[in-house]
Chains A and B, each alone.
Chain A
Amino acid sequence: NAGVTQTPKFQVLKTGQSMTLQCAQDMNHEYMSWYRQDPGMGLRLIHYSVGAGITDQGEVPNGYNVSRSTTEDFPLRLLSAAPSQTSVYFCASKSAGGSSYEQYFGPGTRLTVT
């Protein structure tokens, strides 16, 4: 199992550009989510999905879109990048069997917006 994979590892964007951060998991997990991690702050939930075709907003969804067409993939789209979106982004997945099931994190994507 590759677990949770993310691409790219690093990305630099100019303000106003758009891009998609890719996330895939091979554990057949129903639940997938995107977090951002900023210095001095805890991980904050951007969007999450409880299954293919179902997505919902987390704590900080503005400026981001998601879709879930398959169980395996959960891409995060930045519509018009802003410097405030400079951050490290983590994708995670877990079984939908309850909060006691472990959540697995990807290696992260470090995004810089200039």
Chain B
Amino acid sequence: KNQVEQSPQSLIILEGKNCTLQCNYTVSPFSNLRWYKQDTGRGPVSLTIMTFSENTKSNGRYTATLDADTKQSSLHITASQLSDSASYICVVSDSSGGSYIPTFGRGTSLIVHP
């Protein structure tokens, strides 16, 4: 069964600090990996997407890495801001079949304190 595990479950940091969130997956055959940001009370919004051949993708202060050999990804947030407080969800898609049925991680809840 396809699985996506995220760590830590929650994280508290001070404004201006950096942090790294982790995602391990057992999805096969791998197609792509996305990181979403979900603000409280809102739907998820895509931050980055990486395919098998990509190992780094940036979106402003967000940088995602992918190691397809070890099936691990990380999301690094630089110079955190209060608005970064949210849940960050790792989502992995497989390339089997014709339907889009991604596997979602449980998310990491990030709180940025002033």
Binding site for B on A (CB under 8 A): 4, 31, 33, 40-45, 48, 50, 56, 58-59, 90, 92, 94, 99-100, 102-103, 105-108
Contacts and interface: CB of A to CB of B under 8 A. Distances in A.
Contacts of A92: 43
Contact of B106 (A33, A40, A102, A105): A40
B85 interface: no
Count class of interface residues, chain B: 20 to 34
B43 A56 contact: no
Given A99-B95, A108-B42, A45 B101 contact: yes
B49 interface: yes
B89 interface: yes
Contacts of A58: 101
A4 B78 CA distance: 30
Contacts of A90: 43-44
A56 B49 CA distance: 26
